Structure 1
């Protein structure tokens, strides 16, 4: 996995760009998503989150070799099966007459080209997306710019 950057969230004045406030971003274990599609909370509940693997222990002593068992007796050979009957040979059919391919038809004339449609109207350009409203509700919120600063 590539190194991940940490970011600081700051609210900026939309006119001057001055920092109005540092923002403490709150999150929950359900909003942290792993690459396998599970959330942090799901992994925590399932008990699959673990620490780093410790160092490998020393190799244990080799045990003594056990006694080798005796070989089993070979099985008896089976009888050969009965040979099947020979089938009859079928009759050879006569070959039919092959027909001749017909001539190709004449190529048709191309159709006329349709009328070109009018060009559609151009829409207005959207905002850059960095201006947001901040407040206790959307109605009383004030516009600020959102800036994510790499730290």
Structure 2
């Protein structure tokens, strides 16, 4: 990657841009109201900027012992350029700093690209959630539950 990625906390003013990225990368995206609700619920929310332009985002919900990655997304033109890795590393660092022992997430069973991405970063499958994601109006798809131990004692 040739551009520096700046990771910062999401602001309420970022919601429209983040929802726009989400709409480009998800079949069933969160909308602006979902992001506002998450922001107001004090979830951990980061954006990735390149040259002052938001190109990615991440949302983490902190549980009592682990963090849960609810969403991560990178604008299509910026995928495979290190933006997702930078976001994930920042999220892992914060979860570790907050004393949580692991970060967990769900990924669609059909999303091989995401599974490879997470496996390369130390995530292991710990379970499955049957019929978790919608495929269309009638069908659903299983989610693989992945987790990375963050080495917190």
TM-score (ref. length: structure 1): 0.18
Which has the higher relative contact order, 1 or 2, with Cα contacts under 8 A spaced 6 or more apart?
Answer: 1
TM-score (ref. length: structure 2): 0.17
Higher relative helix content: 2
Larger Rg: 1
Higher relative strand content: 2
